Structure 1
């Protein structure tokens, strides 16, 4: 797993624990010569993980929709840039380019990316998993909801076929090994 897609917040106004964990993960990616595939924004956890990864030697691939470019929100850390028309194209390219996806804390855009990966997997378009990095229990409510989907038989297959959960940094690294 050399290319890791990271889905995460572009907000600069979130608790510092999330920033610290994103920086720790980015540094690990650089130290282990991984490629970061992400949305290319210069804001929030996106810029944090990219900066830490770049400082430690990672290659950075940004998948940038035109709206980000129009708003001047593109990171200057990118080694490779994919320009996309919209968010749907962005998700498809990130999924195509990455070996595995990691969901750091994020908002509606991150949820969209997570469910895009999982839905494609359930239909058989790919066999890639999303890893929820559950910093401070951030994903607990979503994970509980997903468990309920299985219990109520709205999921045709066990959802752990398409996802994994890391509650600590050590667990995250072990899943990526």
Structure 2
């Protein structure tokens, strides 16, 4: 199984983010999971890639040419694919991955997981989308998503399809047992 992880090119202010990211990477790698990610060697991106590599898992990076030097492309990967732009990056990651997981990150992390969630909601994919909620990082976002559902902008089954946990074992169990809801327009 290959899981796409979206996360920060920064490690954040609290060391718990990097510690939990490393622990998650170790857990997933020792449980038969390979990593698909944005190809960087900095921030949580570098931490998660290194964690998988430390446990002997395969790591597939996808990075746009424009960001290759800025995000300090990781050159110790199983495979590093260099693409023309962010659209190609996301499409390649989505094609390679069996599931999507967002760790703490910034605007790019949200954009990537929201696009994967949207594609799944619309029926382009039936792949699980998850938020790994380190130190309650996504709690306020979860409130917003609940508000979107209660005010009628997201169907409850599409809000509920998101896996939300801060426990590695629960995350992997939920991904492996995931059943996609009916697409929005069926």
Fold shared by both chains (TM-score > 0.5): yes
Aligned Cα root-mean-square deviation (Å): 1.6
Q: Give the whole-Å Cα distance in 2 for the aligned partners of 1:143 and 1:116.
A: 16
Structure 1 moving runs of 4+ over 3 Å: none
Equivalent pair of 1:131/1:165 in contact (CA under 8 Å)? yes
Number of paired residues?
176
Provide structure 1 residue ranges, at least 5 long, that are not aligned to the other structure: none
Residues 96-115 of structure 1: pairs in structure 2 closer than 5 A: 96-115=95-114
- 2:94 match: secondary structure: helix
1:3-48 residue CA offsets vs partner (Å, 9 max, x unmatched): 0100001114431101011101111222123210000001011110
Residues 8-23 of structure 1: pairs in structure 2 closer than 5 A: 8-23=7-22
Residue 72 to residue 17, structure 1, CA distance change in 2 (3 Å): closer
Q: Give the whole-Å Cα distance in 2 for the aligned partners of 1:159 and 1:93.
A: 24
TM normalised by structure 1 equals: 0.92
Correspondence for 2:62: 63
Residues 101-140 of structure 1: pairs in structure 2 closer than 5 A: 101-140=100-139
Provide structure 2 residue ranges, at least 5 long, that are not aligned to the other structure: 177-186
- 1:136 match: secondary structure: helix
Residues 86-101 of structure 1: pairs in structure 2 closer than 5 A: 86-101=85-100
Structure 1, 55-64 or 85-94: larger mean CA deviation: 85-94
TM normalised by structure 2 equals: 0.88
- Aligned-residue offset at 1:72: 6.2
